[in-house]
């Protein structure tokens, strides 16, 4: 038996804003967000969607291991970074990477104001070490919302290096600026496994032992990052936060967040 996640809160679509050809911001709102809060950056929320082919939201029940619909099917749930929460307006922004396939991408492409969904969370975020001398952030397109959020809240007294891998040039977009920021977009070569450019870029960097490291992206890629940092460089796990956001070849989430 697994611990039941936080309850789902009913919301409706209030706005849809394309940020790039690959990233769309969905604004959700509802009175059930009245006591919602996101105390840490780079956290996660679960988004419950209507069953495929339907616009009607069906609330699932927890069976001790997963959420199931009344007819026994698994509920359609995906995990995203809560990019912005407006407590006064009861509004929550989620930035969704759009793929050619995938339930969440299809839902966003067809969503309209008033459509219903539900959110649960937040899950754990990133605890910032305000005394850290430097930060290193890395990820792929799915990590752009969390990295953007971190750039807004990390201590301005510490230099920050950012490396983001993109499979398409038009996935690039403006990120929050800050003092002492070193940033580089990494183009994934055609046909290369997701994460190849990111893993190579991080391996090429000179990283001081006391640098705080945050990395998120494709599950196999971040496992390679873990091996490099922990086994090859001997960096302490306590100085890192490394999370798999998705798995290549699978429509769904990588980590149970």
Q: Are 186 and 165 in contact (CB under 8 A)?
A: yes
> What's the rounded Cα separation, in Å, for the pair 66 and 227?
30
Closest residue by Cα to residue 94 from 170, 43, 53, 51: 43
Mapping DSSP to helix (H, G, I), strand (E, B) and coil, where does residue 201 land? helix
Question: Torsions phi, psi of 131, nearest 5?
Answer: -100, 0
pLDDT (0 to 100) of residue 252: 55
Question: What is the tens place of the pLDDT at every residue in 80-102?
Answer: 999 999 999 999 999 999 987 78
The overall longest dimension of the chain from CA atoms, in Å, is 54
- Which tokens is 83 given? 């990019």
Q: Which residue has the tokens 């893993």?
A: 199
Question: What is the tens place of the pLDDT at every residue in 18-63?
Answer: 999 999 999 999 999 999 999 999 999 999 999 888 889 999 999 9
Q: Is 135 left (phi over 0), alpha (psi -120 to 50) or beta?
A: beta
pLDDT (0 to 100) of residue 250: 63
User: Quick check: 256 pLDDT over 50?
Assistant: no
Beta-bridged to residue 117, according to DSSP, are 11
First CA to last CA distance, the chain: 16
Would you give the DSSP letter of residue 74?
A: B
Q: Which residues contact 231 (CB under 8 A, 6 or more apart)?
A: none
Q: Which of 65-79, 173-187, 240-254 has the lowest mean pLDDT?
A: 240-254
Closest residue by Cα to residue 85 from 93, 77, 97: 93
Q: Which residue has the tokens 């850290």?
A: 132
């Amino acid at each position: 038996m697994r611990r039941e996640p936080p309850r789902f809160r009913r919301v409706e679509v209030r706005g849809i804003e394309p940020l790039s050809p690959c990233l769309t911001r969905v604004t959700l709102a509802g009175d059930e967000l009245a006591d919602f809060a996101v105390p840490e950056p780079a956290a996660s929320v679960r988004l419950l969607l209507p069953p495929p082919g339907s616009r009607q939201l069906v609330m699932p029940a927890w069976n001790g291991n997963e959420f199931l619909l009344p007819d026994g099917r698994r509920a359609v749930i995906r995990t995203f970074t809560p990019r912005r929460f407006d407590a006064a307006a009861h509004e929550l922004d989620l930035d969704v990477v759009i793929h050619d396939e995938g339930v969440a991408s299809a839902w966003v492409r067809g969503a309209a104001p008033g459509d219903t969904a539900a959110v649960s969370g937040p899950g754990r975020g990133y605890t910032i070490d305000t005394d850290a001398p430097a930060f290193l952030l890395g990820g792929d397109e799915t990590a752009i919302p969390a990295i953007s959020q971190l750039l807004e809240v990390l201590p301005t007294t510490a230099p920050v290096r950012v490396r983001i891998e993109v499979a398409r040039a038009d996935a690039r977009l403006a990120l929050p600026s800050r003092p002492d920021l070193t940033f580089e977009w990494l183009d994934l070569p055609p046909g290369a496994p997701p994460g190849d450019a990111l893993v190579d870029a991080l391996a090429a960097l000179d990283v001081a032992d006391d640098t705080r490291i945050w990395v998120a992206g494709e599950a196999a890629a971040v496992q390679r990052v873990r091996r490099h940092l922990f086994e090859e460089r001997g960096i302490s796990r306590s100085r890192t936060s490394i999370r798999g956001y998705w798995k290549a070849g699978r429509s769904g989430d990588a980590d149970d967040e």
